[in-house]
Amino acid sequence: MGGVDERFYRELFGEVDKQGEWVYSDTNSYSIEELAARFEDVLGPEAVYDSAVTDGQILFSSGREQPVTGRLVQSIEDFSPEPPEGSLAARIGKAQDGISSKYVDSSPYLRKTNPETNPFDILVIDVPQDYHTGELSKVLEAAGKASQEVQEFHDEIDRAISMRIDN
């Protein structure tokens, strides 16, 4: 994307890392500096941030319309993308879509996902080249709150399943 250099990515990912709730994941293959240098490569690496308090992750990659697009992801193991309509995974995706709907209007950097395609994508984060750190903080806070609600929802599902198994 024209006009974006590795300094932009280094500063952006450094800013996300400073927020505290989102931690640069150990699963990343590169340091933030190395990732910034490689970020615009074709099929370049994603920047993965783990929630410090939930099972959520934000996956940042090169965007189509903005330099960077992030996805808040919080999956339940063993569910595949594009589940059949009416399946448990599809219904969970719909419930999570209801959670994310509350947060999507809190920033122009946020937009809804498509739960029919991947029920475990919660929010999409579009970071423009001229992003403001205050708006980024607001976005990360909203992602944290959405992730917290999704975690509580997953914990409720887990408790309900555990009760059935234990009885």
pLDDT tens digits along 110-138: 998 887 777 788 999 999 999 999 999 99
Whether the Cβ atoms of residue 12 and residue 131 lie closer than 8 Å to each other: yes
CA-CA-CA-CA torsion sign (21, 25, 26, 31)? negative
pLDDT tens digits along 19-77: 889 999 999 988 988 888 887 665 567 899 999 999 899 999 888 788 889 999 987 65
Whether the Cβ atoms of residue 58 and residue 81 lie closer than 8 Å to each other: no
Residue with tokens 């555990």: 162
CA-CA-CA-CA torsion sign (48, 126, 11, 137)? negative
pLDDT tens digits along 87-107: 777 888 888 889 999 999 999
Residue with tokens 């993308």: 81
Parse the chain into domains and list their residue ranges.
Answer: 6-166
> What is the Cα–Cα distance from 167 to 85, expressed in whole angstroms?
30
DSSP tag of 135: H
Annotate 5-41 with DSSP letters as a single string. Answer: -HHHHHHHHHHHHHTSSEEE-TT-SS-HHHHHHHTTS
> What is the Cα–Cα distance from 113 to 146, expressed in whole angstroms?
13
